[in-house]
Amino acid sequence: MFQDFNTGLFLQKIAVLLALIFSLLVLNFIAKKNELTKRSAYKTLLFAIFAVSFFSLLKNESVIISNLCILFALRRIISLKSYKFTQKKIFDATFWVSIATLYQFWAGLFFIIVFFAILNFASSFKNWLIPLVAFTAVALLTISFHLLVYDQFYSFSDWFQESNYDFSAYGNLKLLVPLSFILSLLLWTVFYYFSEIQKASITRRPILSLILLSLVVAGGVAVFSPTKNGSELIFFFVPLSIIASNYFDGKKEKIFKDILLAALIIMPFIVSFLG
């Protein structure tokens, strides 16, 4: 048995698991520092529940790394509200989104979030050119790496991932059950989040709107993704965790919220017993 043990593969799986755990920590840091939620554990709990409910996610290293890069980008994007080191933050955010596209091409839709932030926090003409510079930097670094290591040119065909519109896999109960739970939670909490945006101050409203836009963009990534096994939904988890956490942090409907949270916690166990 030990003769078949692959040390390299084992270390790779450990690294991916650590990347997923680190994603939790980054999410918690972003939410706390920018006061996107109250200081509760709901956001990290929900993200963890969503992640373990889709077993295919743990087998798809690319989307986990890509999502982590998007989290790094989101951290820099939201920090634009301070109006400090604006150009550096725009560059960093675009750089991380560009890195994310190397693992999941359609994560490039998150460039929309970068431009939304520029429009709201740094709309001078030269700031609109910074994303192009950052993207070019990643492209040149990637091409140079492939020429040096693999002695071949990294072309658009190597980068591009063709979309897959076959959603038949979602009919499988292992996907259908958690997806139904998540969509129900989204529909139930998003209206509460809309009311929070309406009540927010003028300075805070763009940040809350940015999280909502991130959810829409994540939906686009899932639709255009070449894989349809549930792992593509990981980009949903961060904005939905923040939106749902705001609902659970509210003071109303406490008994219902406890029942809903208990159902979410039980969900991964239900999925594990499905055929």
Q: pLDDT 10s digit of each residue in the chain, 275 long? A: 455 667 777 787 788 889 999 999 999 999 999 989 888 899 999 999 999 998 888 888 999 999 999 999 999 999 999 889 999 999 999 999 999 999 999 999 999 999 999 999 988 889 999 999 999 999 999 999 999 998 899 988 899 999 999 888 888 888 999 999 999 999 999 988 998 898 888 888 999 999 999 999 999 999 999 999 989 999 999 999 999 999 998 878 788 888 999 999 999 988 888 75
pLDDT of the residue at 91:
97
pLDDT of the residue at 218:
96
CB 232 within 8 A of CB 58: no
pLDDT of the residue at 127:
94
| Cβ contacts of 267-272, under 8 Å, gap ≥ 24 | 267/49, 267/53, 267/177, 267/178, 267/181, 268/49, 268/52, 268/53, 268/178, 270/177, 271/53, 271/55, 271/174, 271/177, 271/178, 272/55
pTM confidence score: 0.93
pLDDT of the residue at 1:
47
CB 271 within 8 A of CB 56: no
